[in-house]
Amino acid sequence: MEYRFSSRVSQLTSSAVRDILKLTQGKDLISFAGGLPAEELFPVDAVREAADRVFRAGPGVLQYGLTEGYTPLREQLCERMSKKGMAVTPDEMLMTTGSQQAIYQLVGVLTEPGDTVLVEMPTYLSSLQVFALHGVQTAAVESDEDGMIPEYAEEMIKRHKPKLLYAVMTFGNPTGRVWSVERRKAILDICRKYGVLIIEDDPYGDIKFNPEDSIPTLFSLEGKAQDSIVVYTGSFSKTVAPALRTGWAMGDKRIMEMAAKTKQAADLHSSTLDQQILSQLLQFFDLDGHIAMISREYGNRMLEMHRLLEQAALPGVKWQKARGGMFLWLELPDGLDAEALLRCAVQKGVAFVPGSPFYAASPKRNTARLNFTHNTGERTAAGVARFAEAIGEFTARS
Amino acid sequence: MEYRFSSRVSQLTSSAVRDILKLTQGKDLISFAGGLPAEELFPVDAVREAADRVFRAGPGVLQYGLTEGYTPLREQLCERMSKKGMAVTPDEMLMTTGSQQAIYQLVGVLTEPGDTVLVEMPTYLSSLQVFALHGVQTAAVESDEDGMIPEYAEEMIKRHKPKLLYAVMTFGNPTGRVWSVERRKAILDICRKYGVLIIEDDPYGDIKFNPEDSIPTLFSLEGKAQDSIVVYTGSFSKTVAPALRTGWAMGDKRIMEMAAKTKQAADLHSSTLDQQILSQLLQFFDLDGHIAMISREYGNRMLEMHRLLEQAALPGVKWQKARGGMFLWLELPDGLDAEALLRCAVQKGVAFVPGSPFYAASPKRNTARLNFTHNTGERTAAGVARFAEAIGEFTARS
C-alpha cells in the first residue's frame, strides 16, 4: 500500500533533539543534548499531595473541562503574572499542552500559509517545525549577545512584510542569551510602527541564577493584554515538571478566543487532572521557594560545566556563562562541523546538540548547545572529558 | 489594534455543543446536550490509587516523555486490542490528547488543503471543524439505519476522488447507529478498490448494552495495521474519564510516524502523568468489569429516557432505541426547526443539541441529539417533561 502524505508534512524533518533523545534512551550515554530539567529536583511529594487534594473532591474532577482551561488555575496564574508586571485576566489566557502547543495554536490563527515570521539567529528548533507545518516562511534576523539587532529587524520587516516576530528573549534556547532592555524596547517600537505581532516565548524566564536580576518581559513593557502587539507564552514544564504538560498563552482576548476555537478542534482541551493538580500546587505549595531552589542548583551546575570546559582548555572553543535557563552555547573552531563531532562524541559516550538545526538560514555549522541542568558531579565531569576528547581528535586532525 | 486572523480560522464556527456547554455552566438547566459521561460512575478511587503507584516510583515519572506515548501503556493497549481481533504493535500506535487529537493529526498528515473527505450524514460535529481547519472539503454520503449506503459512497468517490472516508461506525455520534457487518464489508471493498483511506473513529464501541452484541471493527476486518486502508482511533474518555485526555490512533507504521512528527510540533507529547495513571489502571484495576458496569447503567438510562419519551406521546417525533453509546437521535415533525425549539427549551430549563450542525451538507433541521448518560431519575424525567412541553408549544402553534 502506497500512502500519500501531505506535502507539508513530508518535508517536515523530525527534531534532531528529540531524535537523539530517542536514540539514547536506555543507553549508557551522558547526554547534554535534551533540554531536560533535573528530575531529582521535581517536587514529586508536593505533586502527589496536590493530586490527593484533587481526588478528594470526588469523581466530578474527572469530567470534561473548558477548552480555555481550568478557571481557578487561570485566575491564580493571572495573579502570579500581575506580580511580574503583567496585567492579564482569565479571558485573556488559554491553557495549553505545554507552551509548545501555545506557539502552535498562535501561529495557526495569526498567519496564512505563505506568510513570513521573523526569528532569531539561531532560534528555538521546534518553533521552526511549527512554522513549516503551518506553511509559513521564516526570515532570520542577525542577532548578537543582546538580542536581535534592531536595524536588521527593520530591514527584514521592510523586505518581507512579516505578520509575526517570534523570539525567546530571556535565557534563550539555544543560546541562553538575554535581550537587553534597550533592545526589547527598540524591537517593540519597530514592531509597533509596522504592525508586526510579537510572540514572546518565555519558558525559562523564572530560572535566573541571580535573584536580583531584573528582566522586564515585553508583555510587561506593553502593560496590558488588550490591544497589545505582544502575545506571551509560558510553561510549568521547567518550574514544576514537564510530565504535567501545562503551558499557556496570554494576549488580547480576540486572539485568545480564536486560539481556543482552533484548540477545540485540535484536542477539545488539555488534561484537566494536570491543571487541577497545578492549581492545588499554586495554593498549597511554595512554588516560588521551589523555583529559587532549582535556580540556585542550576546556577551551580552551569558554573561547574563552565569550569570544566575552561579546565579542558579546548583550543578555539568560545562560550559565555549563562545568567539563567538551561543551556551553554558553544562556538567551535572555524571549520569544525558539529554534526561530525556529534557522531564522534556519541561513540565516546556523550551527546549534545549541533547548532545548525537551530538556524532558519545560513547555519553556523561550528556551534553546539550543551544542557547543564540534567547531569551533576561525576557525570558532568566525565561528559565534558569525553566531549573534550572528541574535540581533541578533530582539532588534531585538522 | 486590528488583528488579522488566518482566513481558515476566521471562518471556523465554534462547536454548538461546546458553546451550549459553556452557556449552561452553573445554571439550573437539565442538559441532554453535552456528550458527558456520568461523573458519579468515574472510578475516582482507582484513579487515585493508580496515581499513588505512579508517584511512588519517584520524581523520574515527571520527566519529558516520548512523542509516541508512554511505551508500557502502548504495549498494554496492544494486548487489549488483540483481544478484539485487532493485531497491532506499539510502533503502530500513537497516544494522543483524546481521540479528537488523533483525528486532527491524522487528517493533517493524510490530506492536502483542497482534498475531499467523505463523511456520514449526519456526522460527528467536531470532525467537521477538523476538516475545515485543515482546509479540507467534505462530501456527505447518504446514510440510513445500517450505515453509509455503499452505492452512494461509490458514486461520491467517483465524483469527488476523496483521500479519506471518516465515520463513527459503532454507536455513532450523533445518531447512535451501528453499521451492519454487510455495510462495513461493502464500504471496505469500495475503499480498497479506489484507494480511499478510512478513519474509523471508535470512542463508544466498548459501551454496548447487550454484552453478547458482537460488532467487528473495520480494523479487525482488515486484520492487521500494516498496509491497511483503515486507521483506527480510540479513547479512554468514555471508558475511564475524560479529564485524563488520553486517546490513541493505530494504523500502518508509516502513517503513525508521520502523525508523531506533526504531533511533536503541535505539543511535543500528551500528559505523561495521565498515561502512566492509565497504565497502572490497566494493570491493577478491573477495567472490563468497570466498562460492563457503566454499560449496564447507561443501557438502563437509555431505556428510561426512551420510556419517558414514549410516555410523553410526542406527535410526529420518531427515534430508535440505542444499542450502545450515549445518544438518542430524534426526528421531529416536518417543519419543526430544532434550533428554534432549543431556544424555547432552554427557557423551560432543558438543553439538547439541534441536529443541523452535524450535517456537512443539506441539514435536516428537524432533528435533535439527546444524551442519556449524564442525568438520572427525576432529572431525566423533569428534563423530558420540559422538552415535551417545548415541543407541545411548537406543534400547537403550527
Q: Contact A9/B163, CB-based, under 8 Å?
A: no
- pLDDT band (50, 70, 90) for residue B17: low
Q: What is the CATH number of the domain that holds A133?
A: 3.40.640.10
Question: In this structure, are A159 and A275 located in the same domain?
Answer: yes
Over residues B11-16, mean pLDDT = 68
Predicted local distance difference test score (pLDDT) of residue B18: 58
**A23 contacts chain B (CB < 8 A):** no
Give residue-wise pLDDT tens across range B242-277. 999 999 999 999 999 999 999 999 999 999 999 999
Distance (Å, whole) CA B219 – CA A8: 27
Question: In this structure, are A29 and A79 located in the same domain?
Answer: no
Chains A, B: CB contacts under 8 A, how many? 258
Give residue-wise pLDDT tens across range B47-89. 999 999 999 999 999 999 999 999 999 999 999 999 999 999 9
B273 contacts in chain A (CB < 8 Å): 243-244, 271, 273-274, 277
C-alpha cell at A163: 505578520
Cα distance from B388 to chain A (closest Cα, Å)?
28
Predicted local distance difference test score (pLDDT) of residue A199: 98
Residue A378: domain span: 7-42+289-397
Of chain B, the percentage scoring pLDDT greater than 70 comes to: 96
Give residue-wise pLDDT tens across range B86-104. 999 999 999 999 999 999 9
Question: In this structure, are A129 and A278 located in the same domain?
Answer: yes
**B272 contacts chain A (CB < 8 A):** yes
Over residues A366-383, mean pLDDT = 97
pLDDT higher than threshold 80 for residue B19: no
Cα distance from B249 to chain A (closest Cα, Å)?
13
Over residues B170-174, mean pLDDT = 97
Which of the residues B40, B44, B235, B237 would you substitute to probe the A interface, choosing the one with the greatest number of A C-beta atoms within 10 Å?
A: B44
Give residue-wise pLDDT tens across range A31-72. 999 899 999 999 999 999 999 999 999 999 999 999 999 999
Question: In this structure, are B306 and B354 located in the same domain?
Answer: yes
A132: number of Cβ within 10 Å: 18
| Edge-to-edge strands, sheet with B353-354 | B327-331, B367-371, B353-354
Cα distance from A63 to chain B (closest Cα, Å)?
5
In a domain, A192, yes or no: yes
- pLDDT band (50, 70, 90) for residue A354: very high
Over residues B172-201, mean pLDDT = 98
**A191 contacts chain B (CB < 8 A):** no
C-alpha cell at B292: 460492563
Using alpha carbons, list the distances in angstroms from residue B95 to A362, B71, B255, B275, B393: 36, 9, 13, 8, 48
Question: In this structure, are A157 and A238 located in the same domain?
Answer: yes
CB within 8 Å of chain B, chain A residues 331-390: none
Predicted local distance difference test score (pLDDT) of residue B395: 81
Question: In this structure, are A256 and A224 located in the same domain?
Answer: yes
Question: In this structure, are B242 and B95 located in the same domain?
Answer: yes
Over residues B196-206, mean pLDDT = 98
Residues with Cβ within 8 Å of A27's Cβ and at least 6 positions away in sequence, in order, are none
Distance (Å, whole) CA A360 – CA A376: 32
Residues with Cβ within 8 Å of B113's Cβ and at least 6 positions away in sequence, in order, are A113, B134, B135, B136
A126 contacts in chain B (CB < 8 Å): 264-265, 268
In a domain, A372, yes or no: yes
Domain boundary among A228, A249, A284: A284
B267 contacts in chain A (CB < 8 Å): 96-98, 100-101, 104, 245, 267
Q: Contact A42/B22, CB-based, under 8 Å?
A: no
Predicted local distance difference test score (pLDDT) of residue A9: 86
Question: In this structure, are B78 and B192 located in the same domain?
Answer: yes
> Do B328 and B370 contact (CB within 8 A), yes or no?
yes
The residue of chain A nearest to residue B38, with distances taken between CA atoms, is: A63
* Main-chain dihedrals φ then ψ at residue A330, nearest 5 degrees: -105, 135
CB within 8 Å of chain A, chain B residues 37-76: 37, 39-44, 47-48, 51-52, 55, 58-67
In a domain, A1, yes or no: no
Distance (Å, whole) CA A200 – CA B41: 43
- Higher pLDDT among residues B342 and B395, named by residue: B342
Over residues A88-99, mean pLDDT = 98
Domain boundary among B267, B284, B301: B284
Question: In this structure, are A348 and A302 located in the same domain?
Answer: yes
Domain boundary among A284, A308, A334: A284
Predicted local distance difference test score (pLDDT) of residue A10: 82
Residues with Cβ within 8 Å of A214's Cβ and at least 6 positions away in sequence, in order, are none
| Residue the block writes with cell 549534545 | A352
Using alpha carbons, list the distances in angstroms from residue B347 to B103, B370, B377: 35, 17, 21
- pLDDT band (50, 70, 90) for residue A273: very high
pLDDT higher than threshold 70 for residue B142: yes
Question: In this structure, are B376 and B363 located in the same domain?
Answer: yes
Cα distance from B311 to chain A (closest Cα, Å)?
31
Q: What is the CATH number of the domain that holds A388?
A: 3.90.1150.10
Question: In this structure, are B70 and B158 located in the same domain?
Answer: yes
C-alpha cell at B225: 495495521
Cα distance from B124 to chain A (closest Cα, Å)?
12
Cite the beta strand spans of B194-291 per DSSP E.
Answer: 197-201, 230-235, 246-250
Over residues A301-314, mean pLDDT = 97
> Do A103 and A166 contact (CB within 8 A), yes or no?
yes
- pLDDT band (50, 70, 90) for residue B378: very high
In a domain, B335, yes or no: yes
Over residues A100-115, mean pLDDT = 97
Predicted local distance difference test score (pLDDT) of residue A357: 92
Of chain A, the percentage scoring pLDDT greater than 90 comes to: 90
Q: How many domains, in total, are found in chain A?
A: 2
Distance (Å, whole) CA A244 – CA B62: 7
> Do B16 and B174 contact (CB within 8 A), yes or no?
no
Give residue-wise pLDDT tens across range B307-330. 999 999 999 999 999 999 999 999
Question: In this structure, are A313 and A280 located in the same domain?
Answer: no
Over residues A276-291, mean pLDDT = 98
Mean pLDDT score of chain B, rounded to an integer?
Answer: 94
